[in-house]
Amino acid sequence: MKKVFLILALVIVTAHLTNAQKPADPKATEATVKLYEKLSLSIEKGIMIGHQDDLMYGHSWNVNGVSDTKQTAGDFPALFGWELADVELGHTVSIDGVDYSIMKTKIQWVNAQGGVNEISWHCNNPLTGANAWDVTSKEVVKSVLPGGKKNELFLKMLNKLADFFLSLKDEKGNPIPVVFRPWHEHTGSWFWWGQNLCSSDEYISLWKYTVSQLQGHGVHNLLYAYSAAGGPKDATGYLERYPGDNIVDLLGFDEYQNGVNGKADFIKSVTHGMSILIPLAKEHHKIAILAETGLETLPDPRWFTETLWPAIKDYPIAYVLFWRNAHDKPNHFYVPYPGQASEANFKEFEKIDRTLFLQDLQHSIK
């Protein structure tokens, strides 16, 4: 296999983990600690490749178990992203139309295969009743915190979220560990928790309250990821709303290329952002990631090996997550599908020694 030395690397990395380099949650389950170690290993020997909702739908299809990644690269991603928007409302399907009961079986399958599960949450606006993108009020975060008029409602939302995490069980009934990435892209202002919608103190309190309530509900199978919008310009700005080392495990940012002509700006933003992020991750004993990325519709047939890889290959990040391939939006996809112009390049990308897909984890990391 192309990563034959990963088992030895896992032993070395695990042996050198200090208390500061373990999950922030002191009550993290054994499996969650092992997930942290697996992510640490990928930093040493490669970068895990992820795809949002990979098993649930893809470009022009909506059949369980099919995968655009598998059909084009020849292997499943190492990391599978999932979305929980609407779970807090008690809905049975997500904002993207994914049935939560089916999602749970897929999360269980990924875990059994040795893959990694990552979950984001575009929480609906508790103050207005609209979706996460409703930014008509700057009082939302304040309203959900203790003493706020929507605190009781938000607490019920968090309890529903906790119930979902607690329901994730493996074949032996043990909690399945996942990476949870709440309140992401907060340095932008397109979500109700964004930069211009709340103060730094309010945002940090939102994070702390969320983690406190989940852990108080008995949820200890999560690694928490802090993810800014776009590559950070400097360390001070990146840490302005950082909730603290005691509740965060991964540091990252989301960065997308804006059209085929945005290649230079994308590479500049990612590389500069990584030059800020990596030292911070080392200083704070956290795992670095590129939390979301992609080029919508992939008009550049060699984007993976000639744009993305040059931008990330020299940085010790655990994973990169490509966004979803919508089945009902022909121009909304970030991984090639059979016959798409970048399919051949994606196969080249999979063959790079340091790109880690699912089989690399199955054969090399236990």
Q: In this predicted model, what pLDDT tens digit does every residue of 135-159 receive, in sequence order?
A: 999 999 999 999 999 999 999 999 9
Higher pLDDT, 19 or 228: 228
| C-beta atoms surrounding 268 within 10 Å | 12
CA 340 – CA 81 distance, rounded (Å)? 22
Residue 84 has pLDDT above 50, yes or no: yes
> Which residue, among 328, 331, 349, has the nearest Cα to 60 in the 3D structure?
328
Residue 302 has pLDDT above 60, yes or no: yes
- With contact defined as beta carbons under 8 Å apart, do 178 and 32 qualify? no
Q: Is 189 helix (H, G, I), strand (E, B) or coil?
A: coil
Residue 1 has pLDDT above 60, yes or no: no
* pLDDT score of 2: 54
* pLDDT score of 363: 82
Confidence of residue 366 (pLDDT cuts 50, 70, 90): low
**What percent of the chain is modeled with pLDDT above 90?**
89
* CATH of region 6-19+32-364, choose from 3.20.20.80, 3.90.700.10, 3.30.1490.20, 2.40.10.10: 3.20.20.80
The number of angstroms, rounded, from the C-alpha of 60 to the middle of its chain's C-alpha atoms is 24
Residue 88 has pLDDT above 80, yes or no: yes
Average pLDDT over residues 233-256: 98
Q: pLDDT tens-digit profile of 8-25?
A: 444 334 333 444 579 999
Q: pLDDT tens-digit profile of 105-136?
A: 999 999 999 999 999 999 999 999 999 999 99
Amino acid letter, 166: L
- With contact defined as beta carbons under 8 Å apart, do 323 and 79 qualify? no
Higher pLDDT, 44 or 11: 44
Residue 198 has pLDDT above 70, yes or no: yes
Sequence-distant (≥ 6) Cβ neighbours of residue 212 within 8 angstroms: none
Give the β-pairing of 79-83 and 287-294.
Answer: unpaired
Give the β-pairing of 47-52 and 319-322.
Answer: parallel
- With contact defined as beta carbons under 8 Å apart, do 220 and 175 qualify? yes
Domain limits of the chain?
Answer: 6-19+32-364
Q: Strand ranges (DSSP E) for the chain?
A: 47-52, 79-83, 116-120, 178-181, 222-229, 250-256, 287-294, 319-322, 355-356
Confidence of residue 63 (pLDDT cuts 50, 70, 90): confident
* pLDDT score of 44: 84
Q: Strand ranges (DSSP E) for 84-221?
A: 116-120, 178-181
**What percent of the chain is modeled with pLDDT above 70?**
94
Average pLDDT over residues 333-349: 98
